Amino acid sequence: MKKNQIAIYGAGGFAREVAWLVETCNKNKKKYEVVCYIDDNPEKEGKKLNGYSVLNLRTFRELYPHAKVVIGVGFPQTRQAIEEKAVLAGYGFATIIHPGVEMSPWVKIGDGTVICAGNILTTNITLGKQVQINLDCTIGHDVVMEDYVTLAPGVHVSGWVHLGNRVYVGTGAVIINGTEEAPIRIGDDAIIGAGACVIESVAKGLTVTGVPAKPVDIKVAR
C-alpha cells in the first residue's frame, strides 16, 4: 500500500491549481503523490490535465482504494456535496498548506482545508473543515471560519470576524475588524462580492457588493 497518495476531486481551473500546490509541497521533501483528478462529468473521463488522468469515482476506487482526496472546487455548496459523496465512497481528506504560508502556532485547521501561496494567518484563528483560502489573503486575529468557507484571491479579513458555513468571499474583498464584544458576523451561505468592503454584519444567505457593501438581489449559479 502506497502512503500519501492524493487525488484532486474536480477537473477545472482551481483543481489544476490545487494539483500544482500539492507538487509545490514536495519541493524540499516528497510528501504526496498526485495520482489523478476525479470528475463526475463523463465527457472529461480519460482526459489528461497537466500530466494527470481524469477518472470517475468508480474507477478511482478500483485503482486507488487507500488514497486521500483534496477537493478542488471553489463553490462551497458544491464542495460540501462532493465531500459527502467521497465520504460515502470511504475516502478521507488531506489538508494541504503551501510551505511558504506565514502562520502562527495559534491557528486551528479543519480536515480537508486548502491554503494556497502568499497567505498570512496571524493568531487565535479557527478554520473549519474544507475551508479554501486562495492566493494572497490575510487573516487577522480571532477570526473564525466555519465549514466550507471560500476566500477568493486577495481577500483581507480583519480581526474579530466570524464567517458562517459556506460563505463565499470574492476576489479582493475586505472585511473590516469587529471587536471582542461585537464581532462582525457573516451568516451562513452569504456571498461577499469581488472588491466589496464589508463594514457591518451580513445576514445569512445575502449577497452584498460595493463600497461599503450593500445587499443586492443576485442569483449565483453553482
The residues annotated as belonging to the active site are 141
HEC sequence for 70-121: EECCCCHHHHHHHHHHHHHCCCCECCEECCCCEECCCEEECCCCEECCCCEE
Is the distance from CB of 68 to CB of 46 less than 8 angstroms? no
Kindly state the cell numbers that stand for 110. Answer: 479543519
Residues near 93 by beta carbon (within 8 Å), at least 6 away in sequence: 68, 69, 70, 71, 83, 86, 111, 112, 129, 130
Kindly state the cell numbers that stand for 127. Answer: 478554520
Is the distance from CB of 163 to CB of 145 less than 8 angstroms? yes
